[in-house]
Amino acid sequence: MPSETKNYRAALIGAGSRGMGLRDEANQADRISVVATADPVETNFESLKTEGVVVYKDFERMLEVESVDIVLVATPVRTHYDVAKRVLEFPITALYLEKPMSTRLWQADELIRKAEEENVYFVVGHQLRYSPGWADVKILVMQGAIGKVEYIRARRGWPLLTHHTHQTDLMRYYADDSPAEWVLGQIHRSGSFLSENIELEMQALGFVQFENGIFGIIEAGQYKQPPVENMVMLIGEKGEIRVGPDAHYRSEDTNGTWTPVPQFEQPDIFEDLLHWIEGGPGHRSAARNGRDTLEILLAIYESSRSRSRISLPMERRGNAFEEMRADGILP
Amino acid sequence: MAMLKAGVIGCGGRGQSQARGYHVSSDVDLVACADPLEAARTAFAERFGVKNTYSDYRQMLEKEKPDIVSVATWTPLHREITITAAHSGVRAIHSEKPMAPSWGDAKQMNQACVDNNVVLTFSHQRRFAAPFIKAKQLANDGTIGQLCRVEGTCPNLLDWGTHWFDIFFFYNNDEPAEWVIGQIDASEAQEVFGVPVESSGLSWVGWENGVEGLLATGGAAEKDISNRLIGTEGIIEIGSQNAKPMRVLSSKSQGWTVPDLSDLESKGNETVLSVLDLIDALKNDREPELIGWKALQATELIFVTYESSRRRAKIYLPLDVEDSALVTMLESGMIGNTLDT
Contact: B335, A239; criterion CB under 8 Å: no
Contact: B253, A256; criterion CB under 8 Å: yes
Q: Does A246 touch chain B (CB under 8 A)?
A: no
Please compute, for residue A36, the number of CA atoms within 13 A of its CA located in the half-sphere on the CB side: 21
Q: In chain A, which residue's Cα lies nearest the Cα of B313?
A: A188
| Three-state DSSP class for residue B246 | coil
Query: Which segments of chain B have a pLDDT < 50?
Result: 338-341
pLDDT given for residue B340 in this prediction: 40
pLDDT given for residue B1 in this prediction: 63
Q: Does A328 touch chain B (CB under 8 A)?
A: no
pLDDT given for residue B339 in this prediction: 44
Rg (CA), chain B: 20
Q: What are phi and psi of B338, to 5 degrees?
A: -105, 85
d(CA B248, CA B246): 7
What is this model's ipTM?
A: 0.95
Of B186, B214, B254, Cβ closest to residue A256? B254
pLDDT given for residue A4 in this prediction: 76
Give chain B's contact residues with A (Cβ, < 8 Å).
181-187, 199-202, 204, 206, 210, 214, 216, 219-220, 222-223, 228, 230, 234-235, 249-257, 308-310, 312-314, 329, 334-335, 339, 341
Q: How many CB atoms lie within 10 A of CB B266?
A: 8
Q: Does A258 touch chain B (CB under 8 A)?
A: yes
pTM of the entire structure?
Answer: 0.96
pLDDT given for residue B341 in this prediction: 40
pLDDT given for residue B123 in this prediction: 97
- pLDDT per 10-residue tile (average), chain A, 331 residues: 86 97 97 98 96 97 98 97 98 98 98 98 98 96 96 97 98 98 98 95 98 97 86 95 93 90 97 97 98 98 98 97 97 95
